[in-house]
Structure 1
Amino acid sequence: MSKEKGLEREEGGATMPIKKRGGVVDSTDPNMGGESQDADYCSEDAPPSLSDELEVLILARVPRSEYSKFSAVNKRFLSLVSSGELYKVRRDIGVREPSVFVLASGESNWWAFDRSFRSCRQLPILPSDVCFASGDKETLSAGTHLLVSGMEIDGRVTWRYELTSNRWFKGPPMNSPRGLFASATCGNHAVVAGGIRVDGNREVLRTAERYDPDGKSWVLLPSMNRRRQFCSGCYMDGKFYVIGGKSEDGQALTCAEAYDETNDKWELIPDMLKDTPISTYHSPPLVAVVNNHLYALETSLNVVRVYVKATNSWRTLGPVPIRADFNRGWGVAFKSLGNELLVIGSSSASYTGHGMSIFTCIPDPTTATTEEGRLRWEPLECSKNRSSHFIRNCCVMIA
């Protein structure tokens, strides 16, 4: 049996010196005082320590759900996480994983889940006023920032949650404060377009802007061809798509637009939603892109459809296991989760009682509409499944 005694280790009655990085410490030195020093010690037979660079590369491959435990290791590990350096390394080596942020009806705190929904944690309370807390909000993510846009007593604001520090900050505001806009995330930035201006005459917008999390700033982009509100956004084929919505006259728009960053222009796509039923009080289109294929949740029929690019048309793939028709699409989350589709809402079966139900599936755009070929949805257990099935906000962060 061995034990440490000051800077010595006793083994079988023999006293062995303990090696410090860079040499052997003389335990007889009176300046040492027999006290443990702030350094890493190992026996002469111990393997050499890892280099700092190799340690960072290893940590970058650890699941993000484990990062909260690093603060108990040492200050350097804590600094790697809180400074954001570790996330930059992950981005450079192509290691990313999705997290799902959810705000359910009746709750004041956001919840963050890992991809499999096996672990969750509660975010700090967003320090907004009561108007923002109780009002409608819209969310998007960029890098390690979760952005939440809504109305406070003094006007439209955007709050951001920084994953690295686990804190909320106000701002920066958009160049054109807006609501009911389209948004989507691509890489380390996000784009918003359209919506209603809320700092004046409630003008329906056709402007667009991009958020840069590194600079914490918004940059104006060229304006769309059409003004639109109640629209949705997504990234596909390297372009930012704005789909559906309503015009300044309140008329439903079946056209879409795609912004190509390469030529810095918008392209109008007529009749992209020509076969989609549109209700006056319907939610914005529920769309998600998986493996560069666009899917939509047709809420009036509770089915998933896939967009056929070659013919500018839609094809039905099969039903979803939640009731999206209860509130005409409001309160339902329909997102891409890596190579899967994610849907959260009120279950059409009794998987999780009266709480929110969570399902994923790996879609196949060639799936037939027969019983054998329909989408295979997998229910996910969730430690917070007593939350309301009405989802006020949901956002997927890839970092």
Structure 2
Amino acid sequence: MMSSSFNDREILIRHRETNVGSSDAVEPQDADYSHLPSLSDEIVHQILSRVSRSEYWKLYFLNKSYLDLLKSGELYKIRRENGLKEPSVYMLASGEPHWWTFDRHFRSFRKLPELPSDPCFVAGDKESLCAGTHLLVCGKEIEGVVIWRYELAMNRWYKGPSMINPRCLFASANCNDVAFVAGGIAMGTTLDVLDSAELYNPENKAWDSLPKMHKRRKLCSGCYMDNKFYVIGGQDEDGLDLTCGECFDINKNTWELIPDILKDAPISTSRSPPLLAVVNNELYSLEASSNQLKVYLKKTNLWKELGKVPVRADHSRGWGIAFKSLGDELLVIGGAWNSFAGHGMMICTCRPDPNGTEELQWRFLGTGRNRISHFILNCSVMLA
């Protein structure tokens, strides 16, 4: 009885799927389902929390109650309480005016609302990170450094909050509902290389200062592993490459230096920050000069080669490549070996064996959208 009652509504939803990027511009329509037995709000919320998050945008078209429920953020809180986390990918490719979000299998995608920034921000370099259900995009507008914040629940962009020490070319990582940043170049008049670090909490939309690192570093990378925030590589204030890393223990509120974690890394002043990702608490790197996937051996402080990746990371010295953790898989997005000249992107995932006993099995997930550039300007993964 219930499935037949929703036939008309399903037809409306499917008809509007082509306008997925503009869901906030469509008024939800209330329908009369008074002849159906009603469920308690608590049960309805529990049921909806178990629906794939990539399908939530359809609730915007059902009725105003569901619209209000989405905007309240209550569904995401219930998902966290039930241990339900679903990764989705937020991406901005070269030449694209809009951000896009994809489900973890890249079977469905939608365009985010237009980011209401000025032309300077649109054309300039940007850096992104996720914290809870917030996507933060850092860049520079005509009037100065700014952070734009996309809130998933509201499906809207908001300006701020700014970091305590605005920066670029910094390391970042997220853990549950908070995000860490460290190092980088100060976006002020002096352009100092920083040793400061901060934590962003989406609950109060604020940044908190953390203790300073042992080293000043820019062009560094961050990750979260062993319940610690790691900052690895980069360059110091003299432009010299750093082979050391350090990790922050939030329980002890201290940094620990890790000597020579990148001692075998190739030296190149124009390469990207280290391409790092953590899967199942194991640290992996994509070496841009050789296109080799490596795993970090914690006990010996060494790296082990696992095989080549199916994208050309060496074509732009590691720039324009997305190398991310996607749940229990590695995600790599970039130009394919036979298409690096601009024929489109390749999206692949794999579940690597950290012991190196099994050959890498890459799964091809398509090209995202037709004719999208393979050069990825920004890519972040949200777990919610």
TM normalised by structure 1 equals 0.86
Secondary structure at the aligned position of 1:69 is classed as helix
Distance (Å, rounded) in 2 between the aligned partners of 1:286 and 1:86: 33
TM-align CA RMSD: 1.7
Give the number of equivalent residue pairs. Answer: 355
SS in 2 for 1:41: coil
Q: Tell me what 1:317 maps to.
A: 306
Distance, in Å, in 2 between the alignment partners of 1:172 and 1:39 is: 42
SS at match of 1:380: strand
1:79 is paired with a residue of what secondary structure?
helix
- Return the offset for 1:41: 2.7
Q: Map Cα deviations across residues 284-331 of structure 1 (whole Å, 9 max, x no partner).
A: 000000000000000100010000000000000000000000110000
Partner of 2:235: 246
Asked if residue 185 in structure 1 is aligned to residue 174 in structure 2, the reply is yes
2:58 aligns with: 69
- 1:226 is paired with a residue whose SS is coil
Does residue 374 (structure 1) correspond to residue 374 (structure 2)? The answer is: no
**Aligned counterpart, 2:8:** none
In structure 2, C-alpha distance between the alignment counterparts of 1:359 and 1:88, rounded to whole Å: 31
- What is the match of residue 383 of structure 2? 398
Q: 1:78 to 1:209 in 2, by over 3 A?
A: same
Distance (Å, rounded) in 2 between the aligned partners of 1:38 and 1:180: 50
Residue 168 (structure 1) aligned to one of 127, 145, 157: 157
Q: Do residues 56 (structure 1) and 45 (structure 2) align?
A: yes
Q: Matches of 1:352 and 1:112 in 2, distance apart? A: 25
- Unaligned runs of 5+ residues in structure 2 are 1-29
Q: Which runs of 5+ in 1 are unaligned?
A: 1-36
Query: Is residue 352–residue 385 contact of structure 1 (8 Å, CA) maintained in 2?
Result: no
What's the counterpart of residue 155 of structure 1?
A: 144
Q: Does 1:120 align with 2:109?
A: yes
The alignment status of 1:138 with 2:127, answered yes or no, reads yes
The match for 2:369 is: 384
Larger gyration radius, structure 1 or structure 2: 1
TM-score normalised to the size of structure 2?
A: 0.90
User: 1:225 and 1:284 mapped to 2: Cα distance?
Assistant: 19
Letter in 1 for 2:219: F
Question: Which residue among 338, 347, 351 is the counterpart of 2:336?
Answer: 347
Distance 1:190 1:283, change over 3 A: same
Provide closer, same or farther for how the CA distance between residues 234 and 90 of structure 1 changes in structure 2, counting only shifts above 3 A. same
Q: For the residues of structure 1 that align with 2:182 and 2:375, how far apart are their CA atoms?
A: 26
Greater share of helix: 2
Q: Which amino acid aligns with 1:282?
A: R
- Secondary structure of 2:147's aligned partner: strand
The answer as to whether partners of 2:342 and 2:373 remain within 8 angstroms in 1 is no
Pair 1:110 & 2:95 matched: no
CA distance in 2, matches of 1:203, 1:352: 37
CA contact (8 A) 1:118 1:382 kept: no
